[in-house]
Amino acid sequence: MADAPKDTKQLLIETATELIWSESYNAVSVDEICKKADVKKGSFYHFFPSKAHLAMEAMDYCMCNTKGHYDDLFSPTRPPLERFSLMVSYIIEQQKEISAQLGHVCGCPFATLGSELAGQDELIGKKINEICAKKTAYYQSALRDLMVEGLISSETDVVAKSHDIFAFIVGHLIMARIHNDLGFIENHMEKSLLDLIGINRHI
């Protein structure tokens, strides 16, 4: 049985996600998005007042997909150390898949947009902050459980550390994109993350 056709709005969101992730926000025009999606420009503006509004919908789409995976990876039923290990494996596999599909390392879509627009567009800046808060909430929960298990210091500032982790991951993905080399995340990411968390000093 053939898959049901995607509605126009969803098609535009998925097309914009791919193009922005592969290239950049500023490098992709509304015309290019419409052409690749095979959608008339009038239909674009029926759903989105501007390219910035489409970008925000694209970020929500990416975060929705990420949430489905992170709810599983960071399940409280898993040992907290395993949660971080599984997250690294997920990031690596996701980057491999996208790299194979688009022909180069694409890094983090939120970082790509954020580095371009967070200071220019207030709405996109707020959206990036929302995504950061959602992701760091997973890290904070796991860090607190690591503290309970005695695997990290009881004096750890879990909020500050969760932001360190977010910045660490984004930084590795940016370097992988700049050098078009997945080795930046494949070879040392997990050990470096555990060092950052403080595991090696407390087990």
Q: Where are the alpha helices (DSSP H) in the chain?
A: 8-22, 30-37, 41-47, 51-73, 80-102, 109-117, 122-148, 158-179, 183-186, 189-197
Residue type (1 letter), 88: V
Each residue's pLDDT tens digit in the chain (203 positions)? 344 446 999 999 999 988 888 888 888 899 999 999 999 999 999 999 988 889 889 888 888 889 999 999 999 999 999 999 999 999 999 999 888 888 888 887 777 776 666 666 677 778 888 888 999 999 999 999 999 999 999 999 999 999 999 999 999 998 898 899 999 899 889 999 999 999 855 44
Sign for the CA dihedral angle at 136, 139, 143, 145 comes to positive
> Residue 117 gets which letter from DSSP?
H
* Nearest CA-CA partner of 62 in 27, 116, 106, 7: 106
Whole-prediction pTM = 0.85
Instruction: Supply the Cα-derived Rg of the chain in whole angstroms.
Output: 18
Distances (CA, A) of 170 to 52, 111, 139, 196: 22, 7, 14, 14
Are the beta carbons of 131 and 137 closer than 8 angstroms? no
- Burial code (b: 16+ CB inside 10 Å, e: under 16) for 83-93 equals bbbbbbeebbe
Residue with the two structure tokens 């971080």? 84
Q: Do residues 51 and 30 lie in contact, with contact meaning Cβ atoms separated by under 8 Å? A: yes
CA 123, CA 158: separation in Å to the nearest integer? 27
Report the percentage of the chain scoring pLDDT > 90.
Answer: 54
